[in-house]
Every structure is written in structure tokens, then in C-alpha cells.
């Protein structure tokens, strides 16, 4: 059973034109999917549709279906969906509701009526997982932006969702905080959680994403391996500027007849470029 299936799904907010238009897509269980595209493409709406917030909270009109963890989002309440699909919104600070770190994680578990011992166990486990152990009694207001972000993820993870959907989770973080966050998401994915993340910085997502979904004006342009999607973007002016600089270089070199191996990180890119330079030097000295 796939993690998420969009079947001919279209959606328009009240009084608006379609924010998503005839989306057909399968997101495999246990995969790491990056959702990319220009502003207004429908990326946030895509996340909200998986969480059922669209249409349950926003109303509006829709056609087709979204199936999350085997359940049609229309047949489930937002509350029931939230136990299977954990969502971290772009404005994640608005999701923080309590005073201390431990209370924040325990909050939704208490609401779900879990026994105290189980709550204590899960609080300890998820805080260790996100690197916030020792801060149980710290006031949420005293945490850094990165710590708050990880706390929200801990609170969402404590409910043991099968799918984690995050909308621009690194947007308020410094580069180090963003690296730590993506390392955490990578680890969660290795443990079997399906990760779906909206990210505008494609270089950051490359080392982790197995699938990249490119949206534009509510339509699905392409869903494929990240390298294939970048190659597609390269052929269309509206997308090409958001391709990471080192990938732009790779695609330019390819046009000039120099085929380099695909790379995921800047380090791998430098290795490939180094190989190319040494080859040229061998040619020159021969
Ligand atoms: P992205 O996340 O890619 O920037 P969004 O999903 O936020 O795109 O928006 C897709 C389209 O839906 C845009 O045209 C946007 O103006 C519109 N939209 C987003 N939220 C609302 C809303 N609450 N009411 C009406 N229109 C909205």
C-alpha cells in the first residue's frame, strides 16, 4: 500500500481559481519526497490536502481523491488523520501551545487519553531522537528557532505518524540548523517514516530526496528522481534559475559534451569536477 495517492485531484479555495489541478501521483511508503516549484505553485495546498486540512478546514471545492495511509481524506476527520499524517506547517511556531518542552510533547498524547507511563516513555524517546534531551523542563519561549522547530517535530512524532509532511521546515533556520534538521529527517526516513517536504533550496534536499515532485500553477509538471527533475527544469526557463549552481554547471558541461556522474552533495560535485580537470591536464600534457 502506497503512503499517499492523489487521484485526479483538483482543489480551489472558496472564491478562487484552482490551487491544485488534476493531480495524479503515488508516493511510496518509506520514501523521501521533495515538493518543489515556484511561489503559488500549490506546494502548501498539496501538504494541506494530504493532512485533510484542505478541504475539512478551508472548505472550497474539490474533485478526485487523496488517499493518505490507505484512508480517503474525505472519509476521515482532521483529528483522525493527524494520528497517521503528522504535519509541520511553515508557520510552525503557531503550532506550539504549552509552557515547557516536556508538556509540549505530552499535550496531544494526553488529549488522546494515553496512559501516563506511555506518555512519559514517548516524551523521553522523541526528545532524544530530535536532540532535545535534558531540556524537558525548559520553557518553550527560551528555545532557539531550530530547537523550536525540532520540538514541533518531536511533538508530531510522539503521535507515531506513518507519514511526516513538512512545509519549508528550514525557512527560519540558519544553515547549521537546517543541516541538523535535514540530518534528522534523513534518520527518521531510515527508520521507515515516509517524509514529504516542501523545500525551495534544491541543493539542500538533493542528498535526501528519492523522488522530486515539481508543481507549477497547480499542475504536476514532473515527478521523478531528483536528477531527472533537474534535467527537466534545465530545459525550461521559468525553472532553470532555481537549479543549484553546481548542477547548472554540470548541465552546461553536459551540453558541451562533458558527461559527469550525478552528484548529491557539493563534496561529490567537487570530486567529479576535480576528475574532469585532471583528465584535461592529462590530455594537455600528452
Ligand atoms: P505555494 O505553497 O507553492 O506558494 P500555495 O499552495 O500557497 O502555493 O497556493 C496555491 C494557490 O492558491 C495560489 O494561487 C494562492 O494564491 C492560492 N491560495 C493559497 N491559500 C489560499 C487561501 N487561503 N485562500 C484563497 N486562495 C489561496
pLDDT recorded at residue 275:
86
In whole angstroms, what is the distance from residue 167 CA to residue 243 CA?
19
Is the CB of residue 43 below 6 angstroms from any atom belonging to ligand 1?
yes
**Contact predicate 205/197, CB 8 Å:** yes
pLDDT in tens, 17-28: 999 999 999 999
Inform me whether the pLDDT recorded for 92 exceeds 90.
Answer: no
Cell of 120: 512519559
Q: Whose CA is nearest to atom 13 of ligand 1?
A: 40
pTM of the model: 0.91
Strand pairing category for 163-167 and 194-198: parallel
Q: How many angstroms is it from 40 CA to the middle of ligand 1?
A: 6
How many Cα atoms are found within 13 Å in the side-chain-facing hemisphere of 230?
27
Round the average pLDDT of the chain to a whole number and report it: 92
Is the CB of residue 16 below 6 angstroms from any atom belonging to ligand 1?
yes
pLDDT in tens, 52-62: 999 999 999 99
Q: Whose CA is nearest to atom 15 of ligand 1?
A: 40
Is the CB of residue 250 below 6 angstroms from any atom belonging to ligand 1?
no
Amino acid at each position: 500500500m502506497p503512503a499517499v495517492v492523489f487521484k485526479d485531484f483538483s482543489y480551489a479555495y472558496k472564491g478562487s481559481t484552482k490551487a491544485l489541478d488534476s493531480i495524479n501521483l503515488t508516493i511510496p511508503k518509506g520514501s523521501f519526497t521533495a515538493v518543489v516549484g515556484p511561489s503559488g505553485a500549490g506546494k502548501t495546498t498539496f501538504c494541506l490536502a494530504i493532512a485533510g486540512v484542505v478541504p475539512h478546514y478551508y472548505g472550497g471545492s474539490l474533485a478526485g481523491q487523496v488517499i493518505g495511509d490507505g484512508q480517503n481524506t474525505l472519509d476521515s476527520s482532521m483529528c483522525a488523520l493527524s494520528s497517521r499524517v503528522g504535519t509541520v506547517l511553515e508557520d510552525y511556531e503557531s503550532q506550539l501551545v504549552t509552557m515547557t518542552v516536556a508538556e509540549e510533547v505530552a499535550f496531544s498524547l494526553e488529549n488522546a487519553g494515553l496512559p501516563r507511563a506511555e506518555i512519559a516513555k514517548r516524551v523521553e524517546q522523541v526528545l532524544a531522537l530530535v536532540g532535545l534531551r535534558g531540556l524537558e523542563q525548559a520553557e518553550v519561549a527560551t528555545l532557539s528557532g531550530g530547537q523550536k522547530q525540532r520540538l514541533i517535530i518531536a511533538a508530531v512524532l510522539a503521535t507515531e505518524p506513518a507519514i511526516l509532511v513538512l512545509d519549508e521546515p528550514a525557512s527560519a533556520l540558519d544553515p547549521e540548523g537546517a543541516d541538523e534538521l535535514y540530518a534528522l529527517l534523513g534518520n527518521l526516513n531510515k527508520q521507515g517514516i515516509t517524509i514529504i517536504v516542501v523545500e525551495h533550496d534544491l541543493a539542500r534536499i538533493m542528498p535526501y530526496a528519492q523522488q522530486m515532485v515539481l508543481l507549477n500553477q497547480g499542475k504536476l509538471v514532473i515527478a521523478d528522481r531528483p536528477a531527472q527533475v533537474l534535467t527537466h527544469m534545465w530545459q525550461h526557463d521559468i525553472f532553470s534559475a532555481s537549479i543549484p549552481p553546481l548542477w547548472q554547471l554540470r548541465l552546461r558541461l553536459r551540453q558541451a559534451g562533458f558527461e559527469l556522474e550525478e552528484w548529491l552533495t557539493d563534496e561529490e560535485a567537487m570530486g567529479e569536477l576535480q576528475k574532469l580537470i585532471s583528465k584535461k591536464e592529462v590530455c594537455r600534457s600528452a
